[in-house]
Amino acid sequence: MSTVDTSAKRSALAPLGKPFAAAGGVLGIVAALLPWVTFGLNDGNWPDKSTLQFFDAPFLVTGFRWHVLLLGVLILVAAFAPVPSKGRVVRALGWGLTLVSFVNAAYITVKGGGLGAITALDGATAFGGVVGLVAGVLAILAGYGIGIEPVGEWKFKLSTPLAYLVLLLSFGAVLYAVAAMLTTGGVGSANPYAGAIFLSFLGFAAGVLGALSGVGYIRWLSALSEQHRVFSVVVLAACALLLPFTEAGNEYWMTVAANIGIYAATAIGLNIVVGLAGLLDLGYVAFMGIGALVAANFSGAATAYFGFDLPFPVAAVIAAVVAGIFGAIVGSPTLRVRGDYLAIVTLAFGEIFTRSAQNDIGGFTNGSNAIPGIPALSLFGAEFNKSFTIGAVKLPAGVLYYILIVLLVAATMAVFANLKFSRIGRAWIAIREDEDAARAMGIRTGKMKILAFLIGAMLAGLAGAVFAHKNGTVSYESFKFLESVTLLAAVILGGMGSIPGAVLGAALLFVLPEKLRDFEDYRLMIFGLALILIMRFRPVGLIPDAHRRAEMVERADENAEEAHVEAKKA
Amino acid sequence: MSVLLQQLANGVIQGALIALIALGYTMVYGIIQLINFAHGEVFMVASYGGLATFTLLPDDLKKSPAVALPLMFVGGILVAVVVAVIMERFAYRPLRNAPRLAPLITALGVSVFLQEAVRVFYPNAKSNLPYPKVFPEGNLTIGSVNISWTGVLLVVLSVGLAVILQTYINRSRMGRAMRATAQDPDTAKLMGVNPDRVIVLTFIIGAVLAGVAGIMFGGYLNNINIDMGFQNGIFAFTAAVLGGVGSIRGAVIGAFIIGLIKTVAGQYMPGGTQYDYVWIFVVLILVLVFRPQGLFGEPERVRA
Amino acid sequence: MRKHSVKSAAIVGASLLVLAACGSNKTEGGGTTGGSCDTSKGTLTVGVVAPLSGNLSALGVGIKQSAELAVDEANKKCTVPGFKLTVSAQDDEANPAKGAQAATKLSTDPNVVGVVGTLNSSVAQTVQPILRDKKIPQVSPANTNPSLTRGNDFLTAPKRQFDNYFRVCTTDDLQGPYAANYLVEKAGKKKIAIITDGKTYGEGLAAELQKQVAKKGGTIVGSEKVGEKDTDFSGVIAKIKALGPEAVYYGGEYPVAGPLSKQMKDAGLDVPLMGGDGIFDGKYIELGGKEGDLATSVGAPTESLATAKAFVDAYKAKFGKEDYAAYGAFSYDAANAIIGALGKTLEGGAAWDDSKRDAMLTNVGAYSGSGATGEVKFDQYGDSTNKVLTVYQVTSAKWKDVQTGTFTG
């Protein structure tokens, strides 16, 4: 049915496909070489020498203009070279071009005070933005004209050493891209245009990624890494551990990355409950809070309940166990309550937790004063919150936390992966798909559901224990309803039931607000809108889980709308 | 004793407010089995809509409550209905055949979005806004019990509207179509019922009731804030579940029970007002575990 | 094609958001120009850490904008020779973990000379050590928890906790007892009921008041809590009404206190409500604060201070109708303390580098000036030496000062 759909689109635009692509590509290159702004702005010059006429010096193109140039060239290549799924590739590149042009043109217009800044003013002309936008739109249309065919499939096999090399290079490129993304726009607060530079970079990255995915490379790569799973995991972990040595290896990003790691580990735990067992939990952050409180009380902080200091590993285990016990208690109504009602029970539990913590229940939480002064972790005399030197290399403060958390996330991922492909995991998936059928097949559904809550809560409790030491203070304010929603959003954004998805989701939900601090007033509004749009257009998430795909949409490659139409017909 | 009576009166007024919101929850759930988390925000938006209407009125009209008050109701209800219809059309309808988690998560997103949109775009909505004094002032005093006239009006409106709604659903043609759709959408369709129209109408009725609640809330408490929707929405949902989702009578009675639990538990339970909501949630959990269909609901059907 | 119309609508919506976001930034661009000072040595930054999004943003934005006002004025007056000053405001979302990220971001910028913030005490707890490690002075406009400066045993064995941490606001252990003295001795209210919002500020204030009331021979007849998001307080009011209090002390801020006061009166509990500086705001009366209600606030009465009036006028001129909220004046003073100390550190045209940080800390500690809240100076713990407190009362819909003094026990 999808072929009918796309061929209808093709008929209108088909003859224009290649000419449009050619025009888009050429205009993209021209746009990169034209000036983008007519004068220097109030807050300083727009970056990348954008008032300059680069036709005079085409080799000096940098930054966003380099991205525009590159996209233009790629569109030309894709249009005329034998590329699989040409339409998708051109369309994705066109989107990238449009986004980069739009972000830069819009920012200049608004910050420079009017359209004159991006067209003609006082004798100066700057049509780069306009030309770029036209080029981008042309390329998108060209994509539809050429036709949106299924994602290309690469059949050929590689010998093991060659496969290793490809994986190594690909993951290395990912590491480079992540570091580049984190450092675009600068780390400090000096650059007034940091938000725009970042968005522009994001547009470029989205375009290139979309093209790679369209051409079939991403699918091929994921199949390849699935084949060599152990090697991939090792390389990926090594890449994560190498991040401190890149440009992004500064104290600030280490702090952010460590927080991402803590939330990612928690999100993986939530993924067991929601993604695998299909039990919606709206109060999940409470388990993290319980873990953090337990660790805080055993940390020797001045206001801790217990006057002694347990070694961190012991405290972390206790934290996980206590959180797990609470998880089992909260999960027990699942024996009788289903679906939406369960969501409300967990929400109620979350509210009860915050209320009780705020009121210093049992003297464990120190109420509204929180438990401050939790000592930083240390190992062999190296304090985790201080900078750290290996040989001649001085690593930024917080790097040890980062390493600890990378290991924690890796361990959680391993637990999750093993559970998912085990008997228990299959039982959870069966319950998610159809509880009555699962019970009929002899699965003890009640026990399994409570087990899901227990294990999920234990992971959250463990993450909470690290959280307590990393942040040095535990307050009920860190564990409110909105945090639960954020965690849930991380799981959904990444893809329910998908292991890398939860990590990616948590990373995006942390990195984007950090990079887009210009928009902080709109942060939650955009967050809400994003939840709606994801559910509407890509309910499977960014990295869909193979099983989950089957449930969320009928055909893996089609988007939600087509599936919806299909479901309506059925 | 007089304290108990006063607390009971307070509970009834809080319950009346919650009931107006709970009716919207229960009707939507009854027909499309969707927990419309954002319904509390419809109530909040209506309150701001009413306030905006008042602000836009010419100065001489502001001084005459007899004109200003009805106009505020119209403005607030209009805003609530428009928001609810847009929400149904663009957020929920496309997901009608999606897995059950999807619309629930969408509803969370709508809730966050509406709250933030008001906070960012409504002038000075970052903190509480005072509500105009267009409501009857003064108290009704019976013995030692004090009830404000606005509170009395709230209870009367709430119960009255619930009765009208119940009659409408039981007697009218459209009400019959609603009940048919709730029972079995496919068969209803075969019988000539347009489910889309029925669902939109359900959302509109819910929004009208939430709109009335929004204006009355502002009038009764004299100030509004962007958090009021979430808090009261949760209580209203709890009330709907307590009464048995889908049942009009259940929602109203559930709401009064919730109102009474909050005030009476705050007075007499250990921990006092520190833990008053905790008791509401404890009751909710107990009801769900031991009588999942609620006090007046039918046992939950397993959906095909 | 329906799909595409929806998609394009989403894109248009998103672009409108982007435009709207940019639109609000536009006003900030032009504000800092117009001075004719020498700014040849570059730009130095005053950081702000406060909740700029979410439901505490009214207070956070007030803190941010007041700091911007102070920086603007300093730029016009060339307070720091050779440098232009800017404000870098970071959102902490009222979340300790996010606050740590914001503080780390500021602390890795070599041009950040000091930080104004935070609003929440729990966020301050994570921010303090991060800034201390980099020797960056932090001046809080709003943390009233005494343990932040003097440790847990702040009354019996005070000990300085962080040598980079200062505050311009008063602490709970002064304001609470001062209010208690006024209520019991001056106003003759022996039976007092306490209501708090359960948050650090209100709880701390109420706890200190409670101790002093007992000392002065009054009784606390009841102690209740309202939820952060509550709006209907009839249950709490009926409960304390039965206990027959002569006054109610509320620990918390004006958005709850105003409606609470009105509902008390409506329910027939017509006794004065008293609160701390969190309710000393014009909005309190607008939201229902009734005649006879009381509030304590730091410093001598605002009308008698030319500096306070100048701040209010300048703020209105710069930001129009937007409110500076409860902590704006404190934030203005905090920023000025940092700017003043910086001016002294770089006196004679010295350049800024990390070696100046020690001197900077010393200079903030030794700073003395007269600000919008009165005298701004710090004691050996980093607390404000301005122990002057004023009791205000609502009289004909306005706050009017009734007593000014210092807490002496």
Q: What is the per-residue pLDDT across A34-45, written as a single tens digit (0 to 9) for each? A: 888 887 776 777
Residues of C in contact with A265 (CB under 8 A): none
- Verify whether the Cβ–Cβ distance B238 to A356 is below 8 Å: no
Q: Is the model's pLDDT at A46 over the cut of 60?
A: yes
Min Cα–Cα distance to chain C from B75, Å: 22
C313 C-beta neighbours (distance < 10 Å), count: 10
Helix (H) or strand (E) holding A394: strand A393-395
The tens digit of pLDDT for each residue in C331-345 reads: 999 999 999 999 999
Residues of C in contact with B127 (CB under 8 A): 58-59, 255, 283, 323, 325
Residue A550: the pLDDT is: 52
Give me the residue from A188, A517, A519 closest to C109, CB to CB: A188
Min Cα–Cα distance to chain A from C127, Å: 9
pLDDT greater at residue B198 or residue C373: B198
The tens digit of pLDDT for each residue in C188-246 reads: 999 999 999 888 888 889 999 999 999 999 999 999 988 877 888 988 999 999 999 99
Q: Where in chain A are the domains?
A: 3-206, 249-499
Give the Cα separation of C388 and A64 in Å (integer): 56
Q: Which chains touch B (3 or more CB pairs under 8 A)?
A: A, C
Residues of C in contact with A561 (CB under 8 A): 3
With CA atoms as reference, report the closest residue to A287 among A456, A159, A436, A125: A456
The tens digit of pLDDT for each residue in A365-374 reads: 888 888 888 8
User: Taking residues A129-158, what's their average pLDDT?
Assistant: 86
Q: Is C28 left (phi over 0), alpha (psi -120 to 50) or beta?
A: alpha
The DSSP output letter for C182 is I
Q: How confident is the model at residue A145 (pLDDT cuts 50, 70, 90)?
A: confident
Residues of A in contact with B275 (CB under 8 A): 355-356, 359
Q: Does the domain made of A249-499 have the CATH classification 1.10.10?
A: no
Residues of B in contact with C268 (CB under 8 A): 139, 141, 146
Q: How confident is the model at residue B298 (pLDDT cuts 50, 70, 90)?
A: low
pLDDT greater at residue A280 or residue C32: A280
**For A64-73, C30-39, C368-377, which range has the lowest pLDDT when averaged over its residues?**
C30-39
Selection from B118-127, B182-191, C89-98, C184-193 with the highest mean pLDDT: C184-193
Interfacial C residues in 57-116 facing A (CB < 8 Å): 57, 88, 90-91, 94-97, 100-101, 104-112
Residues of A in contact with B102 (CB under 8 A): 535, 539, 552
The tens digit of pLDDT for each residue in A400-416 reads: 888 889 999 988 888 88
Q: What value, to the nearest 5°, has the Cα angle with vertex C291 and ends C279 and B263?
A: 70
Residues of C in contact with B228 (CB under 8 A): 229, 231
- Compare all CA atoms of chain A with the CA of C94 and give the residue at the minimum distance: A477
Residue A546: the pLDDT is: 65
A57–chain B Cβ distance below 8 A for any pair: no
Q: Is the model's pLDDT at C6 over the cut of 60?
A: no
Give me the residue from C235, C322, C325 closest to B266, CB to CB: C235
User: Taking residues A486-496, what's their average pLDDT?
Assistant: 88
The tens digit of pLDDT for each residue in C90-130 reads: 898 888 888 988 998 898 888 899 999 899 888 998 899 99
Does residue B168 form part of some domain?
yes
Give me the residue from B124, B139, B274 closest to C266, CB to CB: B139
Residues of C in contact with B223 (CB under 8 A): 231, 255, 258-259, 287-288
* Burial (0-12, 13-18, 19+ Cβ within 10 Å), A389: exposed
B227–chain A Cβ distance below 8 A for any pair: no
Q: How confident is the model at residue A23 (pLDDT cuts 50, 70, 90)?
A: very high
The tens digit of pLDDT for each residue in A462-474 reads: 999 999 998 888 9
Q: Which residues pair with C87 in a beta bridge?
A: C46
Considering its fold, how many domains does chain B have in total?
Answer: 1
User: Taking residues A169-180, what's their average pLDDT?
Assistant: 88
Helix (H, G, I), strand (E, B) or coil at C143: coil
B110–chain A Cβ distance below 8 A for any pair: yes
The tens digit of pLDDT for each residue in A90-100 reads: 999 999 999 99
pLDDT greater at residue B21 or residue C7: B21
Give me the residue from B141, B221, B272 closest to C224, CB to CB: B272
* Residue B287: φ, ψ to 5°: -60, -45
**What does the mean pLDDT of chain A come to?**
83
Any idea which residue has 């606005």 for tokens?
B150
Min Cα–Cα distance to chain A from C382, Å: 18
Residues of B in contact with A536 (CB under 8 A): 91, 94-95, 106
What percent of chain A clears pLDDT 70, i.e. is strictly above it?
A: 92
With CA atoms as reference, report the closest residue to A266 among A446, A478, A432: A478
- Verify whether the Cβ–Cβ distance C52 to A190 is below 8 Å: no
Min Cα–Cα distance to chain C from B235, Å: 12
Q: Is the model's pLDDT at B66 over the cut of 90?
A: no
Residue A187: the pLDDT is: 60
Give me the residue from C232, C238, C283 closest to B127, CB to CB: C283
User: Taking residues A280-309, what's their average pLDDT?
Assistant: 89
Residue C24: the pLDDT is: 33
Residue A58: the pLDDT is: 74
Q: Is the model's pLDDT at A86 over the cut of 50?
A: yes
Q: Is the model's pLDDT at A562 over the cut of 60?
A: no
Q: Is the model's pLDDT at A286 over the cut of 90?
A: yes
Does residue B240 form part of some domain?
no
Burial profile A291-315: b = 16 or more Cβ within 10 angstroms, e = fewer: bbbbbbbbbbbebbbeeeebebeeb
Give me the residue from A337, A496, A532 closest to B113, CB to CB: A532
Min Cα–Cα distance to chain A from C394, Å: 30
**What does the mean pLDDT of chain C come to?**
85
Give the Cα separation of B43 and B233 in Å (integer): 8
Give the Cα separation of A252 and C58 in Å (integer): 27
Q: Which residues pair with C165 in a beta bridge?
A: C138
With CA atoms as reference, report the closest residue to C213 among C170, C169, C249: C249
Give the Cα separation of B81 and B85 in Å (integer): 6
Min Cα–Cα distance to chain C from A298, Å: 18
Give the Cα separation of A438 and A475 in Å (integer): 41
Residue C27: the pLDDT is: 30
- Verify whether the Cβ–Cβ distance B3 to C238 is below 8 Å: yes
Give the Cα separation of C333 and C328 in Å (integer): 9
Provide the H-helix boundaries in A44-159: 63-80, 86-112, 128-146
**For A16-20, B212-216, C6-10, C390-394, which range has the lowest pLDDT when averaged over its residues?**
C6-10
What percent of chain C clears pLDDT 70, i.e. is strictly above it?
A: 91
The tens digit of pLDDT for each residue in A199-238 reads: 899 899 999 998 998 888 888 888 888 788 888 888 888 8
- Compare all CA atoms of chain B with the CA of A553 and give the residue at the minimum distance: B98
Q: Which two tokens stand for residue C294?
A: 């009381």
With CA atoms as reference, report the closest residue to C55 among B119, A370, A518, B42: B119
- Verify whether the Cβ–Cβ distance A517 to C91 is below 8 Å: yes
Q: Which two tokens stand for residue B215?
A: 């204006």
**Residue partners of A247: CB distance under 8 A and separation at least 6:** A179, A180, A182, A183
Residues of A in contact with C129 (CB under 8 A): 385, 472
pLDDT greater at residue A172 or residue C34: A172
ipTM exceeding the 0.85 mark:
yes
- Verify whether the Cβ–Cβ distance C33 to A42 is below 8 Å: yes
- Based on its alpha-carbon atoms, the radius of gyration of chain B, rounded to whole angstroms, reads 19
Q: Which chains touch C (3 or more CB pairs under 8 A)?
A: A, B
Does residue B235 form part of some domain?
no
Helix (H, G, I), strand (E, B) or coil at B289: helix
- Compare all CA atoms of chain C with the CA of A371 and give the residue at the minimum distance: C122
- Verify whether the Cβ–Cβ distance C238 to B263 is below 8 Å: yes
- Verify whether the Cβ–Cβ distance B108 to A539 is below 8 Å: no
Which residues span the domain enclosing B104? 2-225
Min Cα–Cα distance to chain A from B285, Å: 6
Q: How confident is the model at residue A509 (pLDDT cuts 50, 70, 90)?
A: confident
- Verify whether the Cβ–Cβ distance C122 to A373 is below 8 Å: no
Residue A199: the pLDDT is: 87
The tens digit of pLDDT for each residue in A530-556 reads: 889 888 888 888 877 765 555 554 433
Does residue B30 form part of some domain?
yes
- Verify whether the Cβ–Cβ distance C266 to B230 is below 8 Å: no
The DSSP output letter for C33 is -
B141–chain A Cβ distance below 8 A for any pair: no
The tens digit of pLDDT for each residue in B194-240 reads: 989 999 999 999 999 999 999 999 988 888 988 899 889 989 988 98
**Residue partners of C267: CB distance under 8 A and separation at least 6:** B6, B146, C234, C237, C238, C241
Give me the residue from C108, C120, C145 closest to A250, CB to CB: C108
